[in-house]
Structure 1
């Protein structure tokens, strides 16, 4: 079987999750990427082809002209940026795929808001106020009395809290928009109401007929005006009334094939979606989820893209607890001291720490997950024991940044 995997930069999800899973399944993988050298350094044994993966036409042409291995059996990506391209390419070759329309709705935050507003009566979801600012448009045109302050500004097709910021009033809204436009001159922006409440995620896996709920996470976010995800605690199951609301919105968007990671805010019994990432959760959460549930998560995801049905029961464990913690840089500068990678077993808790920034590297302060210094994954028998192990681990290590 030959699978074409679309990628931008190398990620832990592909390197530690999907490629090993493909090898276990006997799937031959060809990676299409616009950063071939970075992938060759990361996994030199895998076939890497240079391709403008942001252009679905280039992807189709590259696959069609790569006749060495015969026809493709699957086209897959775990990249937020490439879901629509992968769906279009797979559909062109008659292969199992996500709906490209659903992939586009999930990626384009303005279109997601429009679509959910249009289907609100059917889903019962309250409409979130939002407006779109075209690339180069003067933000003063939006900063009128109709905007509900505080509001959130973000790139229409952004990821990972990049350039997501709170604005308290009209002057600040104009300033924030202009700052983002200076960094992203070709990007459209979305301005939407700030959703008060607790942030959660829902992780799902489907084959177009069966949809499994894998639990989710309760996310601790940095104080405004920025929205850095600092820690996530596993939630084995959300209340039924919240699930009904979130799943109705996913159904309205057409999201249900393969993996999906949905972020939503809960306030006074109401669940409102922040965004839908139509792929597996990242930042090593997917690695933790596979370990915690004790299921071949990455294999299941790949097999759905080969047209295989999911089992009625995944056999997932339900007796564990988990937490992820991300030590973050609080200033710009050079990392001069940091702990090394570690794998520990402490009082029944499995701790896995991986550095995300090398000692000696200098970085600016980004106010996104690019400020992560490392990732600590912890799984254990109960939440109290897991939390203590995480707290003790972090307290016993130090990260030092010099200007």
Structure 2
């Protein structure tokens, strides 16, 4: 089985998730990327992966493909077009474009929900009929970058002007502020059946920015929420492969924030796999190889008697990192049991049965700035255990014993 994986910069999801999953399946892998030095130990072909014609040409000149796949936010449509060219299972490229572009997404979701949104192309005047407060953001943005709450027309003008300095040619959107609690829904589909894997409750940092500080496992979202999100996915055609949808539970019911037609990131994919006790990355790849969900064991995974969280350790001031905790992993393989504590005294576990990981994203000597985006993360702690009390205690203990220091 030959997998062509398209990628930009190397990510944890690819390096520690999908590439090991492909190896476990016994697949041959070729990485197509414009950053070939980032994938040592793998067959790599430097490719303009943002151009589907280039991707198709490179694959056609190499080995016959069985799977063409990407987990990149930026390459879903291009990869879907390449898979379609070779007659392979894949996403509808139109759905990928719609999910990525928040203005197109809002148009397509009009039959499902009413969220007022205005498209702001370069040079456009500020909208007159917009309900304040509004959230302004790039139509194709990621990682909470340039996402700002504006209370009135003056704040909106200032926000747009500031964003335009960095993104002069980007389309922006200004949409009504959805007041409520942010959730995620994680789904996996084979094009015929869509399965809900579970979801998370998201804690955001202080407004006017929207930095994700913490995600807590919420395995069984309410039926109204699931019905609304799946109706939205149906509306844009996002029924194949894995999808990470963010939605707000408001007083008027669920409302979609964004649809990310790929696996959840920021190490939460590994948290999700451990919570489900399932080879999640292998599942995703096997769906792209044409296997139906019922052949994978999807739906049989346990979800009840376990709690998990991913906590982002965020820089609160600019400066230089002078102390940083090391990478931490339990000594027991995550595939064995999510509740085994490897060491009662070590930072990766405690007698309550909590297993804890720490993934540093910075290093001592790094200069950090505060951008009010997910780029401010210093590290990520994820932990799973029998209940929230035990997990919170383990996370708090780790943070107290192993702090990040910026001077």
Aligned equivalents of 1:22 and 1:210: distance in 2?
A: 23
Post-superposition offset of 1:32 = 0.8
Q: Does 1:337 align with 2:323?
A: yes
User: Which residue matches 1:246?
Assistant: 229
> Which of 50, 53, 69 is the equivalent residue of 2:49?
53
Q: Distance in 1 between matches of 2:278 and 2:404?
A: 34
Residue by residue over 1:119-155, the C-alpha shift from the partner in whole angstroms, topping out at 9 and shown as x without a partner, is x1xx3x2x11111111x314xx1242x1111101111
Counterpart of 2:366 in structure 1 is 361
- The Cα shift of 1:49 comes to 1.1
Shift of 1:269: 5.7
Instruction: Report what 2:245 is aligned to.
Output: 262
1:384 and 2:384 are equivalent in the alignment: no
- Structure with the higher fraction of residues in helix conformation: 1
In 2: Cα distance, 1:345 partner to 1:317 partner? 22
Q: Does 1:142 align with 2:129?
A: no
8 Å CA contact 1:78, 1:280 repeated in 2: yes
How many angstroms apart in 2 are the aligned matches of 1:232 and 1:379?
A: 12
* 1:143–1:174 contact (8 Å) kept in structure 2: no
1:71 aligns with 2:60: no
Per-residue deviation, 1:395: 2.3
2:279 maps to 1:296: yes
1:282 to 265, 280, 294: 265
**1:10-89 → structure 2 map (5 Å cutoff):** 10-37=10-37, 39-40=38-39, 44-66=40-62, 70-89=63-82
Contact residue 118 and residue 173 of structure 2 kept, 8 A: yes
SS in 2 for 1:128: coil
Distance 1:257 1:164 in 2: 28
The match for 1:133 among 91, 114, 120 is: 120
Flag structure 2 segments of 5+ consecutive residues without an equivalent.
Answer: 330-347
Using structure 2 for the length normalisation, give the TM-score.
0.92
Moved more, 203-212 or 391-400: 391-400
Q: Paired residue for 2:147, among 164, 181, 202?
A: 164
* 1:143–1:173 CA contact under 8 A, matched in 2: no
Structure 1 outlier segments of 4+, above 3 Å: none
- Structure-to-structure mapping, 1:191-230, within 5 angstroms: 191-230=174-213
Report the alpha carbon displacement of residue 363 of structure 1 after superposing the two structures with TM.
2.3
Q: Please state whether the residue corresponding to 1:31 is helix, strand or coil.
A: strand
Separation in structure 2 between the aligned mates of residue 331 and residue 61 of structure 1, nearest angstrom = 47
Q: How many residues align?
A: 385
Deviations 1:220-278 (A, max 9, x none): 00111110000000001101111111111111111111100000000126000000000
Task: Give how far 1:397 is off.
Answer: 2.4
Secondary structure, counterpart of 1:15 in structure 2: helix
Deviation at 1:186, TM superposition (A): 2.0
1:116 matched to which residue of 2? 109
Secondary structure of 1:373 counterpart: strand
Q: Deviations over 1:177-202 (max 9, x none)?
A: 11111111221111111100000000
User: CA-atom RMSD, angstroms?
Assistant: 1.2
Residue 403 of structure 2 corresponds to which residue in structure 1? 398
Q: Quote the offset at 1:48 in angstroms.
A: 1.1
How far apart in 2 are the matches of 1:303 and 1:88? 19
Conserved? CA contact 2:315–2:368, under 8 Å: no
Name the structure 2 match of 1:317: 302
